[in-house]
A and B are shown apart, each in its own frame.
Chain A
Amino acid sequence: MTVVPEEKAAQLSAIEESGWGAPYRFLRPDNVSFWVYVLGVGGGALTMLRYYGPGAAFYTPALAGGVVLFGLYLVPWFLLLRHHNRFTAQPGALLATGFIWGGIAATFWIALPANAALLDIWAKVGGTSFAADWGAGLTAPINEEWGKAIGLVLLIGLAPRLVRSAYDGFIIGAYIGLGFQVFEDVLYVYNGATQLYGVDQLGSSLQVFVIRGAAGIVSHALFSAIFCAGLMWVLGRARGERKVLRGVLTMLMAMVFHFAWDDMGALGGGTLVAAVLPFVIAAVELVALFYVLRHAAGTERLWIRELLGPEVEAGVIDPPLLDAVSGLRKDRTKYRKHLHSRTKARHLVEATNDLAQEIARAGGAESPGVAHARTELSRLRGDDPALSESR
């Protein structure tokens, strides 16, 4: 196998810069971020127990309904986010750390007391009618977006090698936001039941599930993905990714979306606009989400190309497959058409991702994992019929 040294150097540089393959260890008693995380999640868990504790027995049907319904609601979300955790994919344990921060610390340790205080401040400064109309939208985007983003900052502290690019911020932000969203949803189920003093608890939890579940498609997971991608651009932790203006504007955009969603009633003004506003805001949010995703993925796509460069040179993968693996949806669609087989294209893309991951794990060296991943690719391409049949 002949490998051009420049390409090998680019591969090693991509592995180093992306931190891909570096192990993630949560238990780091020598790391301040670990203790701040423990304080936040511990404080949040205590607040959560105090919040639900007194009424937990009476409101068991509502709480159980909320936990089951929103637990099921998580399944498609995890599948969707798993699909987007591509390129230099983040380890599951790191994403779980973010999810728990969003659900427990950001919601109960930060947002609950901070929101109560800021809502009161708006009522004092602008009057109760002003607070009723605009208070939520002027409160949540500040407290909740920053509360969730603290989780990303702590993960940078816990895993500085792994959290590098804007795309890392996008994916981790989405997990933190999803955690916040479902824990807040269960809180809304509980509050809804207490507002009715426990009448028809299952019915009220189902009602909250339908409303919040639908709204959740363009809610906290989306806000945080955008906000955290913006924060990563401001921090500029990858070479060439320090784009402060773009980062600040992206963060502000997430906060404006959050504001618009929370103050939709006041923005609609009780007119016909109010009926169409949710759909308009949702459409704008989704367009912005994919715009941010596309730009955030740029550095990671380059890393993947550099990481797999020597494999292209060696003929293990061909350029169209490299384009599909390092590209966007349209590139993968193009590759499917090129192969005339959706299944084969999907298998080859996934097997190439496996190979990239094994190369990153091995730090660019040869390893049994790398050798096996190459063999798998060869088998899937049908290079070795004997091998293919023996599987």
Chain B
Amino acid sequence: MVASGQEAPRDWVPVEHRFLGLDRRTFKVGFSALALALVLIYGLQGLNAAIPWHNEIRAGQVLDLGGGATAVPPTGWQLENGTLTGDGAASATNLQVVLATGGATIELDGTSYDGSAAGFLDQVERSEGDPPSVSGAQGSVVTDAGLVGVVEGRTGPSGDGIDVAFKMAVGTTQAIDSAPALLVRVRAASGQFEKYQDAIAALLRSITPGVTR
């Protein structure tokens, strides 16, 4: 076959359409797609950063931990995730609560775990491998409602904190082992933990198991 000499090879870009090795005719579609992607990725993150939190905990408000379990959050902290009692239904085995204030956060994560609170805390640590922090000895914490939790302190380059594991039931070993588990994680910037210690202790003491357990 002899080439006609009039038909350009496939994908040939005429010189007047070239810019830095790119075909200028592809700019409109390509850059439109890029602009839309950047708006979705960075535009929304920028908007989020520009909007402050206004979900401050007021006196008398109570956190719903699912299945009737509750906790009293510290007033003045921002509720960034989670449900207050009367606002909806939380699930004890699929719970995520985040409270934050300047320099500290408290996360309450509910899940299902068959076993003791100490076993649950061990499982949490195994799943996270070797965190960049030093953990202290384990101790016990008892809430006003009689829930017994296992507490462990942590110190690392990003700050201090504690992990507290609860099984959300009181009574027989069998009832406790089969109850939902709750992990309370407190993280504070270096040197800030002492400042929030009383508020954290009050929250831990206020945790109650569900009435139906």
Residue numbers of A with Cβ under 8 A of B are 23, 25, 28-36, 39-40, 54-55, 57-59, 109-110, 113-114, 117-118, 120-121, 123-125, 127-129, 131-133, 143, 146-147, 150, 153-154, 156-157, 160, 194-199, 270
Instruction: Determine how close the nearest CB of chain A comes to the CB of B18; give it in whole angstroms.
Output: 8
Q: Are B40 and A143 in contact (CB under 8 A)?
A: yes
Residues of A within 8 A of B5 (CB): none
Would you list which residues of chain B between 29 and 51 have a CB under 8 Å from chain A? 29-34, 36-37, 40-41, 44-45, 47-48, 51
Would you list which residues of chain B between 70 and 102 have a CB under 8 Å from chain A? 79-84, 87-89, 94
A197: nearest residue on chain B (CB-CB)? B127
Expressed in whole angstroms, the Cα–Cα distance for A57 and B55 within the complex equals: 38
- Contact for A146 among B18, B36, B124, CB less than 8 A: B36
Q: Are A123 and B40 in contact (CB under 8 A)?
A: no
Expressed in whole angstroms, the Cα–Cα distance for A23 and B10 within the complex equals: 9
Q: Which are the 3 A-B pairs with shortest beta-carbon distances?
A: A32-B30, A157-B29, A129-B87
Expressed in whole angstroms, the Cα–Cα distance for A228 and B40 within the complex equals: 18
Instruction: Determine how close the nearest CB of chain B comes to the CB of A40; give it in whole angstroms.
Output: 6
Expressed in whole angstroms, the Cα–Cα distance for A10 and B26 within the complex equals: 29
Q: Are A40 and B88 in contact (CB under 8 A)?
A: no
B40: nearest residue on chain A (CB-CB)? A114
Q: With A121-B47, A121-B51, A198-B123 as known contacts, state yes or no: A110 contacts B33, CB within 8 Å.
A: no
Q: Are B30 and A31 in contact (CB under 8 A)?
A: yes
Residues of B within 8 A of A131 (CB): 81
Instruction: Determine how close the nearest CB of chain B comes to the CB of A123; give it in whole angstroms.
Output: 7
Instruction: Determine how close the nearest CB of chain A comes to the CB of B127; give it in whole angstroms.
Output: 4
Q: Are A199 and B123 in contact (CB under 8 A)?
A: yes
Q: Are A30 and B13 in contact (CB under 8 A)?
A: yes
- Contact for B126 among A30, A58, A123, A132, CB less than 8 A: A58
B82: nearest residue on chain A (CB-CB)? A128
Q: Are A32 and B113 in contact (CB under 8 A)?
A: no
Residue numbers of B with Cβ under 8 A of A are 10-11, 13, 18, 21-23, 26-27, 29-34, 36-37, 40-41, 44-45, 47-48, 51-55, 79-84, 87-89, 94, 109, 111-114, 120, 123-124, 126-129
Expressed in whole angstroms, the Cα–Cα distance for A134 and B109 within the complex equals: 21
Residues of B within 8 A of A125 (CB): 51
Expressed in whole angstroms, the Cα–Cα distance for A241 and B124 within the complex equals: 57
Residues of A within 8 A of B45 (CB): 113-114, 117
- Contact for B40 among A36, A110, A199, CB less than 8 A: A110
Q: With A30-B26, A55-B127, A196-B111 as known contacts, state yes or no: A120 contacts B48, CB within 8 Å.
A: yes
Expressed in whole angstroms, the Cα–Cα distance for A30 and B80 within the complex equals: 46
Expressed in whole angstroms, the Cα–Cα distance for A150 and B33 within the complex equals: 6
Q: Are B47 and A117 in contact (CB under 8 A)?
A: yes
Q: Are A157 and B33 in contact (CB under 8 A)?
A: yes
Q: Are A32 and B22 in contact (CB under 8 A)?
A: yes
Instruction: Determine how close the nearest CB of chain B comes to the CB of A19; give it in whole angstroms.
Output: 13
Residues of B within 8 A of A133 (CB): 88
Given contacts A146-B36, A195-B94, A198-B123, 6 further A-B contacts (CB under 8 A): A32-B31, A57-B129, A121-B48, A124-B53, A160-B29, A199-B123
